């Protein structure tokens, strides 16, 4: 008998979006779930919409502006929709890397990066 589970998950709190520009052009990337901490990044069982991330070695990891190794300070964009985390397997997710974002509505403590060579995001 297969293990079945039921989940209800939506797009999440999208109040961090500053406009609809770019939302139809999110690209699919892979989240390295092992780089995220349950208590910090997904205490409710999902990585929330708007979470800022970096791309390191081809996968998305939490954005950390103080990190100076492994390019974790190289901002890649924001996870577009809530992403359910079940186990520790990497998961595909849409990444918003251009558009308008309300920095004060981004989940967690976030300060817009001064330099964003990998994105074209305007912070409001």
Q: Please provide the distance, in angstroms rounded to a whole number, between the alpha carbons at the two ends of the chain.
A: 51
The token pair at 28 is 């699919």
What residues does each domain of the chain span?
23-123
Cross-strand bridge partners of residue 87: none
Q: Across the chain, which distance is largest between two alpha carbons, in Å?
A: 52
Q: 23-123: which CATH number, 2.70.98, 1.10.10, 2.40.300, 1.10.3470? A: 2.40.300
For the chain, how many residues are written?
A: 124
pLDDT, one tens digit per residue, over 7-20 is 666 668 999 999 99
Model-level pTM? Answer: 0.87
Ranges of H-type helices in 1-124: 38-41
pLDDT at 53 exceeding the cut of 70:
yes
Give the number of other CB atoms < 10 A from CB of residue 118: 15
């Amino acid at each position: 008998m297969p293990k079945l589970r039921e989940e209800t998950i939506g797009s999440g709190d999208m109040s961090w979006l500053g406009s609809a520009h770019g939302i139809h052009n999110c690209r699919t990337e892979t989240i390295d779930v092992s780089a995220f901490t349950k208590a910090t990044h997904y205490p409710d069982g999902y990585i929330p919409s708007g979470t800022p991330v970096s791309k390191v070695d081809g996968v998305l990891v939490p954005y950390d502006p103080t990190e100076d190794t492994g390019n974790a300070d190289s901002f890649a964009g924001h996870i577009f929709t809530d992403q359910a985390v079940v186990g520790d397997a990497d998961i595909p997710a849409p990444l918003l890397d251009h558009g308008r974002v309300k920095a004060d509505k981004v989940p967690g403590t976030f300060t817009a990066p001064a330099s964003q060579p990998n994105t074209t995001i305007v912070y409001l």
